[in-house]
Structure 1
Amino acid sequence: MDRSSSTFNGYRLGARAAAAAAGIAPPVNALDSEKVMSGDVPAMLEWFGGGARAAGVTVTPETAMRMSTVWRCVTLISGGIMSLPLRVFRRTDNGGQERADDHPLARLLRDAPNDDMSGPEMVELATMAVMLQGNAYVLIRQSRNGTVTGLDFYQPLQVSPFRSGGRTWYRFTNLDGSQEVHDADYVIHWRGPGRGSDGIRALSPIGYHAQTIGVGLATRDYTATQFERGLLTNDYFTLPDGITPAQKEEFRQWLEARAQGVANANKPLILQGGAEWKRNAYTARDAQLLELLQYSSLDVARIFGVPGFMIGDMEKSTSWGTGIEHQGIGFVRYTLRPHLRRFAAELNRKLFPPVGNRRSEYFIEFEVDGLMEGDSKSQGEYFRIALGGNQLPGFMSVNEVRRLKNLPPIPGGDTVYVPPPPAPPDHNGGPPLDDDDPGTDPDDPEEETDDEP
């Protein structure tokens, strides 16, 4: 490392990255800075800019998004996570927590992490990158005094992580072609499930399931070709003897120009010279294209953990009662929540790192209540219990409920209901006496009792 020019192996370092790298990263050569494992096929294909070939089609993140099921699953998960508020909280002395909306990082995450996008858009783009390629990268920009000034999102193909000197480094390629190398402490690396053979990148869903997605793409391409060919889909022609190859080629060209396409599918053909037109009795149903299309869609949905009804498959689902509601809750619990935990943990690890054995006063968390909302009746019952219905202890105040419904606070609405303690029993151990109770008082000497003669 050249400390005078703040470069690392020929690449420019950020100011704080250069300070962190001083004395840590030994010189490395270009071959050691980026290793591609021969056994990691998806990583190799991503490195060389290609994609896996399955069912006769090339499967890449871009081509996979042309499949409607992949598009729906990716946008559904990324849109669901993007719609959740990303809050900064402060730990209180009594073991609780409170929102810290005035924290500088709260503004970055909520409003404008950089000059090109809003906070929700950055979360959406990062989630889409994780869904398609398994990894998403955000570079933490800081001033000289260590204050975070921005969070720059990079597409996975613009970042190359590698290990050197016992540390993890990231090489970023900007749009103008310039490159920067930063230490892992200044990079938010959102990962999907698992780790690849390099131990840094997560597994690529598209790369590891190229066969499944390729079958879906190939089925749709074949169906589109059927419509494109129109009349010639399952047809063949018998020509009389004596036809030369040149005449056959001329007939083929005339036939394609005359009868190809859906618009010409019902136009009659007039043949002469003994030529015969015949059709194979082989339909799309015989080829089980409809079943294959449905199966490939459900198979892709299984990859992303999306219920069938969310991609429009209602054949084995009910749209009545609580069935759909519980499936939606399961989607939030078993599909979205693991991503939310990984994302929040990475943000806390890089933006609010612990100091020694002491954790930071602040932390970041997604609020998932927005996705768990039911109908108006269910919400009313939930808020009634939260406020302390049936004289039970509440866990929300009136103003907290009003804030969730975008209503202004009211005076005196910040108190959480706690039921009063029960009245103490009387000295005889019985229930307390009511002052208005017309019953007898055993301590009154003038009270008449049944024991008098």
Structure 2
Amino acid sequence: MDNETKPGLLARLRAALLNRATVPTKHPEKSRVHVASRTISGIHVNPDNILTSSVAWACCRFISESIAMMPWRAFRELPGGGAEIDKRHPVDQILYIRPNPELSTFQLKETLIHQALRWGNSFCEIERDTVGRPFALHLLHPDRVQVLRDDNGVLFYRVSNGIGGTVDLDAMDVLHIRGFGDDVVGYSVAEYAAQSIGWAMAASLFGASFFGNGANVALIVKNKTALSPEALAFQRSEFDQLYKGVNKSHRTAHVDNDTDVESVGTSPADSQMVEANRFLVDEVSRWFGVPPHIANELSRSTFSNIEHQSIEAVQRCLAPWVARLECEADYKLFGINPRGYYSRLDMEETLRGDFKTRAEGFKIYREMGVISADEIRDRIDMNPIGGIEGSMRTMNSTYAPLERIAGGTAQAAAPVPAQATA
């Protein structure tokens, strides 16, 4: 087996800690900010209800679903260079086929990422067979997990099993995806971005109240003579029934004698709702590292630059999360001595351009002799040609060695026959 046995691994970890000059934090902090019950806007923000913000939902969905679509495979380095997918390795079965009977690989990656985005951390229990090889991954909700250290400073995870109490898992038996943070834990965006997200949620509620509860009429009634409480109540009830609500707004009010009618008007633009919502898309998107156009804020996007913005989103937003998944999986699933094994998420599908751009790229690779016709057909999900015709790699015949060009000729020189010796 490639993985080191658990007792031997724990002994090495404890020995390494004894040689340290510093002492690790006993209980790693998950936050360094004050968590208020309510934000200044009056909205309570937590990792669950931030998804009621359309911008936070769009950001979490974009990152988690984009990464969930990437195939996650186990690779084995070849002796002569390069690597190939090892379909028989148990890690490849977990990451590409099925992590456990109840969960697909898409759901595993999607949940790991969106939990890490909201709570700052996501966890999976690594279930191993009798010889220590991983054969299943089980999601653990972040609310169930405490990140702790024992008296020797060795990291472990305490998991709540509800009425079953708690269970302690060794660090090597937990796949822990950390977001941006300190030490061994990540920071929750819901806590650090509470004021910004609370502002966005409050603006959304204000907009709903503006139309749902506001009596938006084009005219206002002023009574010249005082009305009795009963008459005033009747007038208000009739007014609300006829004119309150978005589908009854901007009607003409018909009133009795001895009243003045005054024109009034308030629009969402006058209340700066449109501008505020546009700003809040930028504000919330920044916390997730997502370009605003992903959340449909397209005021600064054009037809010519939207594709490049999307590629930049992959490189600067998705790539760090891909690296987090790969690094953690390589260490926890293959062990300290992986013996040439590693995992990789294929980002090609998210980086590819339109059909014409992709076809031109394949053409360049084919003319360089990098790939064959069957390899191109495999990338575009077509059946192989087969035989030498499909596997042959070709190159443009005009290519010539640099030494020959430097010598003043680009033509292939005829071979010089060997001279006979006496």
TM range (shorter): 0.7 to 0.9
Q: C-alpha displacement at 1:307, in angstroms? A: 2.3
Tell me which moved more, 141-150 or 414-423.
414-423
Code of the residue aligned with 2:343 in structure 1: it is I
Matches within 5 A, 1:20-419: 39-42=32-35, 52-165=38-151, 166-174=153-161, 178-195=165-182, 199-231=183-215, 252=236, 255-266=239-250, 269-272=253-256, 278=262, 280-320=264-304, 323-355=305-337, 359-387=338-366, 389=367, 392=368, 394-409=369-384, 410-412=386-388, 413-414=390-391, 416=393
Code of the residue aligned with 1:77 in structure 2: it is I
| Local SS of the residue matching 1:153 | strand
Question: 1:37 & 1:136 partners in 2: Cα distance?
Answer: 12
Question: 1:333 & 1:156 partners in 2: Cα distance?
Answer: 27
| Local SS of the residue matching 1:287 | coil
Q: C-alpha displacement at 1:149, in angstroms? A: 2.6
Question: 1:235 & 1:54 partners in 2: Cα distance?
Answer: 35
| Local SS of the residue matching 1:319 | coil
Q: CA 1:368/1:289 → structure 2, altered by over 3 Å: closer, same or farther?
A: same
Question: 1:253 & 1:185 partners in 2: Cα distance?
Answer: 67
| Local SS of the residue matching 1:231 | coil
| Local SS of the residue matching 1:59 | coil
Question: 1:169 & 1:74 partners in 2: Cα distance?
Answer: 28
Question: 2:26 & 2:167 partners in 1: Cα distance?
Answer: 13
Question: 1:203 & 1:335 partners in 2: Cα distance?
Answer: 17
Q: What do the CA deviations read for 1:79-121 (whole angstroms, capped 9, x no partner)?
A: 1111111011001112321111222221111122112210111
Tell me which moved more, 80-89 or 33-42.
33-42
Higher RCO (CA < 8 A, seq sep 6+): 2
Code of the residue aligned with 1:85 in structure 2: it is P
Q: CA 1:360/1:235 → structure 2, altered by over 3 Å: closer, same or farther?
A: farther
Q: What do the CA deviations read for 1:378-419 (whole angstroms, capped 9, x no partner)?
A: 1122112222x1xx4x33343332221222332234455578
Question: 2:311 & 2:322 partners in 1: Cα distance?
Answer: 15
Q: CA 1:269/1:41 → structure 2, altered by over 3 Å: closer, same or farther?
A: same
Tell me which moved more, 219-228 or 175-184.
175-184
Question: 1:285 & 1:397 partners in 2: Cα distance?
Answer: 58
Let me know the Cα RMSD of the aligned residues. Answer: 3.7
Q: What do the CA deviations read for 1:181-235 (whole angstroms, capped 9, x no partner)?
A: 211110000011122xxx3320112211111111211111111111112425898
Question: 1:361 & 1:163 partners in 2: Cα distance?
Answer: 31
Q: CA 1:60/1:422 → structure 2, altered by over 3 Å: closer, same or farther?
A: closer
- Does the CA contact (< 8 Å) of 2:31 and 2:188 recur in 1? no
Question: 1:78 & 1:399 partners in 2: Cα distance?
Answer: 32
Aligned-pair identity (%): 25
| Local SS of the residue matching 2:130 | coil
Question: 1:247 & 1:33 partners in 2: Cα distance?
Answer: 71
Question: 1:288 & 1:212 partners in 2: Cα distance?
Answer: 17
Question: 1:270 & 1:422 partners in 2: Cα distance?
Answer: 90
Q: Which runs of 5+ in 1 are unaligned?
A: 1-15, 26-31, 46-50, 436-453
| Local SS of the residue matching 1:53 | coil
- Does the CA contact (< 8 Å) of 2:211 and 2:245 recur in 1? yes
Q: CA 1:142/1:235 → structure 2, altered by over 3 Å: closer, same or farther?
A: farther
Q: CA 1:433/1:314 → structure 2, altered by over 3 Å: closer, same or farther?
A: closer
Question: 1:170 & 1:375 partners in 2: Cα distance?
Answer: 45
| Local SS of the residue matching 1:162 | strand
Question: 1:397 & 1:97 partners in 2: Cα distance?
Answer: 18
| Local SS of the residue matching 2:73 | strand
Q: Which runs of 5+ in 2 are unaligned?
A: 15-24, 416-422
Code of the residue aligned with 1:180 in structure 2: it is V
Q: So what's the TM-score if we normalise by structure 2?
A: 0.80
Question: 2:30 & 2:319 partners in 1: Cα distance?
Answer: 32
Q: C-alpha displacement at 1:63, in angstroms? A: 2.2
Code of the residue aligned with 2:158 in structure 1: it is R
